[in-house]
């Protein structure tokens, strides 16, 4: 006779995120059944990292499913894309109505929507839940961002909430000091002081060609799709692309000239304060842009988003955790229909206080030939956003001149005109629409 199912949840994918999340769940008393495509990794995990815990393993998906209490909860932390679909295809015949599949990977949101729809037809619930915080977050308290079938929530709530609550009290609390405090600032400080065995800073030996796995790119693509200027993330993605052209850059560094000196000769202590201000203001712009994108996506898909709640969700464990997420929550609580964070009084004052240093840094970096794509694109956005009349009137005139694309007049928005600019063109206009 087979043993009674004993596992509360299964976790597929024993790479860094999966292993650490399993151990975290185990710490909270959940019995986790571990599985991995390369089955040897299950044995290794049980014999090493999970030794002495109540984690159980499975050497096949059938065995894994048989070990699960009902409704079955199966979480995947595998490479995003085809691997997720492959596991869903294998799981569907093994599960029954009411069972829940959770994708914890960095899946593209259209894939998550498609999977939700497909699994609903089979009576299964699907949750797409990014797990942020990297290895440390997964082990001690990640930020979990579940979305999908609401009917699954009562069955996963206890597991998800205890993992997240853990993060706020134990691991990250010492990082929550100072307005610029954030996870990335913390780890950057640690990285900069980390020396290799020969005493040289390890970061100096790392090849300056940044990789990426697609989340920034997807955000930038969505931003373009929805016509939302998420310039800072898009610029950061392009900066990584440029960095990865290492061989070409080395060649160009010999041929292309820049300013005579790239060393700053002014008051360094004062300039460090300017840098702090530039980083603070740029981060505010980046969050403001991110919330603009969320708002636009919510409009397009008819989502009811709790913006303040979203900010709080990122406050613990997430790699974008930042001290002022609490201020973002306050801003949306005060004014749920706030169109842009930059218009909230806290952020109006914060940017006012930081902008002098911000402008100094961007100006100096231009003069010294030091690329600062994120800081300068954030400032360009800020200046564009706060300008009531931009030179886009000239763009409209040019578009109408060369392609009869029409323009609106300040005096009559919504009404489109075409001008025969040369006297030799026709009076027929192109149709007017936004791509």
* Helices marked H in 302-414: 307-313, 325-334, 345-368, 373-385, 392-403
Q: Which position among 11, 13, 45, 144 is part of the footprint of ligand NAP (CB under 6 A)? A: 13
**Positions 35 through 54 that interact with ligand NAP (CB under 6 A):** 36-38, 41
Question: How big is the site for ligand NAP, counted in residues (CB under 6 A)?
Answer: 24
CA distances from 418 to 80, 337, 414 (A): 48, 36, 13
- Closest approach, Cβ 2 to ligand NAP, in A, equals 26
CB nearer to ligand NAP: pick between 79 and 240 = 79
CB nearer to ligand NAP: pick between 9 and 351 = 9
50-56 contact pairs (CB < 8 A, 24+): 50/19, 50/22, 50/23, 50/26, 53/23, 53/26, 54/26, 55/22, 55/23, 55/26, 55/31, 56/6, 56/7, 56/31, 56/32
Is 277 one of the binding residues for ligand NAP (CB under 6 A)? no
- Closest approach, Cβ 43 to ligand NAP, in A, equals 12
- Closest approach, Cβ 375 to ligand NAP, in A, equals 25
| Both structure tokens of 279 | 């980083």
| Both structure tokens of 83 | 């691997």
**Positions 196 through 255 that interact with ligand NAP (CB under 6 A):** 213
* Residue list for the binding site: 13-18, 36-38, 78-80, 106
Interacting span for ligand NAP (CB under 6 A) from 33-41, 292-300, 347-355, 360-368 = 33-41
Please give the angle made by the CA atoms of 232, 238 and 240, to the nearest 5 degrees.
Answer: 105
What's the CA gap between 161 and 142, in Å, rounded?
Answer: 10
Count the residues in the chain: 435
Q: Which position among 10, 61, 99, 106 is part of the footprint of ligand NAP (CB under 6 A)? A: 106
| Both structure tokens of 46 | 């049980």
The strand ranges marked E within 46-110 are 56-57, 73-76, 100-103
* Residue list for the binding site for NADP(+): 13-18, 36-38, 78-80, 106
Interacting span for ligand NAP (CB under 6 A) from 11-19, 276-284, 365-373, 386-394 = 11-19
What's the CA gap between 82 and 90, in Å, rounded?
Answer: 12
Q: Which position among 79, 149, 217, 359 is part of the footprint of ligand NAP (CB under 6 A)? A: 79
| Closest residue to ligand NAP using C-beta atoms | 105
Q: Which position among 15, 184, 209, 343 is part of the footprint of ligand NAP (CB under 6 A)? A: 15
- Contacts with ligand NAP by CB under 6 A lie at 13-18, 36-38, 41, 77-80, 82-83, 86, 105-106, 131-132, 134-135, 213
């Amino acid at each position: 006779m087979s043993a009674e199912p004993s596992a509360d949840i299964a976790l597929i994918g024993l790479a860094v995120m999966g292993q650490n999340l399993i151990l975290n769940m185990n710490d909270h008393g959940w019995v986790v059944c571990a599985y991995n495509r390369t089955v040897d990794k299950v044995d290794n995990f049980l014999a090493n990292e999970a030794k002495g815990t109540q984690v159980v393993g499975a050497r096949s998906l059938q065995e894994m499913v048989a070990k699960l209490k009902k409704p079955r909860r199966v979480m995947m932390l595998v490479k995003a894309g085809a691997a997720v679909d492959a596991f869903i295809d294998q799981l569907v015949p093994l599960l029954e109505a009411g069972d829940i599949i959770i994708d914890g990977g960095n899946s593209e949101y259209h894939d998550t929507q498609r999977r939700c729809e497909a699994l609903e037809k089979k009576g299964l619930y699907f949750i797409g839940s990014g797990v942020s915080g990297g290895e440390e977050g997964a082990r001690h308290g990640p930020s979990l961002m579940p979305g999908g079938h609401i009917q699954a929530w009562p069955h996963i709530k206890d597991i998800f909430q205890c993992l997240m609550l853990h993060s706020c009290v134990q691991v990250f609390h010492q990082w929550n000091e100072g307005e610029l405090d954030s996870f990335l600032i913390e780890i950057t400080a640690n990285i900069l002081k980390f020396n290799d065995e020969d005493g040289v800073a390890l970061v100096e030996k790392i090849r300056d060609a940044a990789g990426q796995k697609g989340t920034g790119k997807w955000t930038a693509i969505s931003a373009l799709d929805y016509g939302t200027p998420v310039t800072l993330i898009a610029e950061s993605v392009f900066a990584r692309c440029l960095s990865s052209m290492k061989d070409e850059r080395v060649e160009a560094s010999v041929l292309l000239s820049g300013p005579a000196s790239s060393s700053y000769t002014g008051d360094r202590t004062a300039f460090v304060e300017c840098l702090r201000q530039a980083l603070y203001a740029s981060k505010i712009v980046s969050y403001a842009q991110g919330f603009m994108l969320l708002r636009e996506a919510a409009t397009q898909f008819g989502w009811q988003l709790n913006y303040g709640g979203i900010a709080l969700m990122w406050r613990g464990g997430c790699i974008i955790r930042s001290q002022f997420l609490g201020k973002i929550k306050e801003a949306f609580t005060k004014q749920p229909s706030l169109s842009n964070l930059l218009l909230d009084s806290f952020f109006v004052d914060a940017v006012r206080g930081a902008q002098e240093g911000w402008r100094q840094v961007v100006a100096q970096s231009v003069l010294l030939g030091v690329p600062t794509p994120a800081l300068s694109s954030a400032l360009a956005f800020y200046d564009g956003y706060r300008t009531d009349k931009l030179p886009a009137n000239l763009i409209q005139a040019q578009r109408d001149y060369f392609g009869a694309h029409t323009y609106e007049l300040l005096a009559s928005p919504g009404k489109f005109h075409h001008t025969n600019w040369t006297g030799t063109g026709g009076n027929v206009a192109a149709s007017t629409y936004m791509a």
